[in-house]
Amino acid sequence: MREMNSAVTRGNKPHDVRCNNQRAVIQLLYQHGEMALPEIAEHLGLSRTAVMKIARELTKQNLLTESGKRLSSKNGGRPPTLFTVNRDYRYAVAILINPLDFDCTLMDMWYEPRMQIHQEFTAEELSDRGAMILAIATAFDRLMEEMCLTRDDACGVAVMVKGVVDVEGGVVVFPIGTEWEANMPMRDDLAEALGFEVPVFIENACRYMGYAELLSFPAYRDELIVVIASGPHGVGGCVVDHGNLSHGANGFVGEIGHMIVDPFSRRLCDCGSLGCLEALINKTAVIDYAMEFAADYQESELSEKARSQRLYDEKDVFDAADRGDALACKVMDILALYLAVGIHNIMVTVDPNRVVLVGRFCLMGDYFLNKLRKELTLFPKFVLDSPTEIVLSNYRGTQNELTACMRGAACYAITQYLQDMEKHSKSEIASR
């Protein structure tokens, strides 16, 4: 686990120093779970007196709580008291909106789900934006009611959609996979439907999925990472630069699936372009490649199914490649090459410390990953000392991808809340 340096910066005002140190303590506890005050002081390079004062203030606010005693002390004295972040201090609500349904999940301060509502949209809700927003707001109220919480217990609502998002304006600029009109003011619509003061964040789902990587690997907060996520039909991603999501001038950062990797391809993408990465490596492409080359690999276990158009599950191709099936390996070679071209373009554009593959990529098997890494070695390297590392996410499979979205969304909303902690703490203390 990485060490954290003192949050004290010369020239800062006392108010800023105190606020920064409070955030540093909270972030350290998120990383370690629970710690004694002397350990916190040592990690942050602060005096024990300063840490005791911070702990007293945050405990008074109920943001920190005592979690027990250390079983033994190194010096044989009294076991020190352990502190942790109070998981029930506030809650974030993470909402993933799909073309036909949505998931609304109550997340605690440790980014863990407490209750989830999965609901399909009715025909009216699919055709009427107002009805759709009302359904989501109603699900929010149901969560709070069934968990016996008040609206004041919510610190933020993080909404995830598919498409290009104007984050600052809270507008879904180009929705993907739905019949929604362009430039939908979703943040304002939902805030009005909720009817009370709570921060509402609208973001592309892949960005929050990528943000969840910071929870699995806190060291990523000190790096520039690119996350590439793939489902059966789409490819997306995000750039996380030292803990911050990048968006760009028009919100296009992370639309990796629409990077053109073969300008001569005739495969049409949903965006209207030819040769997009998404169109060249999605499930349809996998099945098409298998059928296209089946006649050349008649000894393959997949050949007959592909030639008779009975190959429906791309996982059959992934698994066969790991067994050394020639036709499956041919298909995976094509996928690896196209993804390698895309990653190479990313490497020479943003130069990340590592590229994290999420979702469907984690199911493609060892043959694909080894082939991908080999393809990347064929491109010239400008810096040989620290090549970009290609790693798989811990979030694998459909349910885990949903978990990543929800945890990433909660982490983002709670992080924003904690960054404004001083204002919240003042108002809470004044109201007591």
* pLDDT of residue 6 exceeding 70: no
Check whether residue 206 and residue 220 sit in a common domain: no
Angle, in degrees to the nearest 10, between helices 283-293 and 314-322: 60
Whether 104 maps to a domain, the answer reads: yes
For 186-245, write each residue's pLDDT tens digit.
999 999 999 888 999 999 998 999 999 988 888 888 899 999 988 877 888 999 999 889
pLDDT the model gives residue 28:
87
Where do runs of H (alpha helix) occur along 104-147? 123-127, 129-146
User: Could you tell me the residue range of the domain that residue 422 belongs to?
Assistant: 91-210+401-431
CA distance 409 to 393: 17
SS3 call for 7 = coil
What is the percentage of the chain residues whose pLDDT exceeds 70? 90
Render 266-310 in DSSP notation, one character per residue.
Answer: -PBPTTS-BSBHHHHHSHHHHHHHHHHHGGG-TTSTTHHHHHTT-
Residues 180 and 125 in one domain: yes
Spatial neighbors of 232 by CB under 8 A, at least 6 apart, are 282, 283, 314, 360
User: What pLDDT band is residue 11 in, cutting at 50, 70 and 90?
Assistant: very low
Residues 247, 232, single domain; the answer is yes
Residue 382: band (very low, low, confident or very high) from pLDDT cuts 50, 70, 90: low
43 or 76: which carries more pLDDT confidence? 43
pLDDT in tens, 112-156: 999 999 999 999 998 888 999 999 999 999 999 999 999 889 999
Of the three residues 57, 85, 113, the one that is the final residue of a domain is: 85
User: Residues 126, 149: one domain?
Assistant: yes
Tell whether 232 is covered by a domain.
yes
Answer whether 202's CB lies under 8 Å from 180's CB: no
Q: Per the domain annotation, does 4 fall within a domain?
A: no
Q: What pLDDT does 9 receive?
A: 41
Q: Does the residue 7 lie in any domain?
A: no
Same domain as 95, residue 79: no
Q: How high is the pLDDT of residue 199?
A: 93
- Mark whether 128 and 20 lie in a shared domain: no
Do residue 180 and residue 157 come from a single domain? Answer: yes
At 384 the pLDDT is 58
Kindly state the percentage of the chain with pLDDT values over 90: 54
Rounded CA-CA distance 391/355 in Å is 6
What is the tally of structural domains in the chain? 3
Answer with the residue of higher pLDDT: 24 or 320: 320
